[in-house]
């Protein structure tokens, strides 16, 4: 089962979702990418994932272009706010889904508030992708 997770910068939300999906089931082939890939991971995203035992520090921030010629079972966009435009994927895909989340890298305020936004979004991503895994993926793998 091949899953591609997309957002704009591929540095934060898509990387966290990628890490969670890999942690749920080793049989999944998971990748993440962005339409405007930043080329680097968001250090706070890496930090909050590591705190719960998921190391995404070895991931790379990749352009969606490198995945267009591959076939995917699922392509999932994770852009959240009304000001964001989610990337469109024009490659071969069986199922397109959107599971949106706020971008914690846009949070402003005290360092404590900003950190709390990373925790909130991380936990929402875990909950949303675990529900997706349980409902959609697991029955297909059994």
Q: Which of 41, 54, 76, 79 is catalytic?
A: 79
- Number of alpha carbons in the 13 Å side-chain half-sphere of residue 83: 3
Cβ atoms 105, 81 nearer than 8 A? no
Nearest to 7 by CA among 75, 54, 90: 75
Helix (H, G, I), strand (E, B) or coil at 141: helix
Concerning whether 86 is annotated as a catalytic residue, the answer is yes
Q: Which of 7, 21, 33, 49 is catalytic?
A: 7
Concerning whether 7 is annotated as a catalytic residue, the answer is yes
Q: Which of 86, 97, 107, 114 is catalytic?
A: 86
* Active-site annotation, residues: 7, 79, 86
């Amino acid at each position: 089962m091949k899953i591609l997770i997309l957002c704009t910068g591929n540095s934060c939300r898509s990387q966290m979702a990628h890490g969670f999906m890999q942690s749920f089931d080793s049989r999944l082939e998971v990748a993440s990418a962005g339409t405007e890939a930043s080329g680097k991971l968001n250090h706070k995203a890496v930090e909050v994932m590591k705190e719960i035992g998921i190391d995404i520090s070895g991931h790379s921030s990749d352009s969606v272009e490198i995945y267009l010629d591959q076939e995917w079972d699922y392509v999932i966009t994770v852009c959240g706010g009304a000001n964001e435009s989610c990337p469109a994927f024009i490659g071969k895909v069986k199922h397109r889904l959107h599971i949106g989340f706020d971008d914690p890298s846009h949070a402003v305020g005290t360092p404590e508030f900003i950190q709390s936004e990373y925790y909130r979004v991380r936990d929402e991503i875990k909950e949303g992708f675990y529900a997706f895994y349980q409902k959609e993926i697991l029955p297909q793998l059994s």
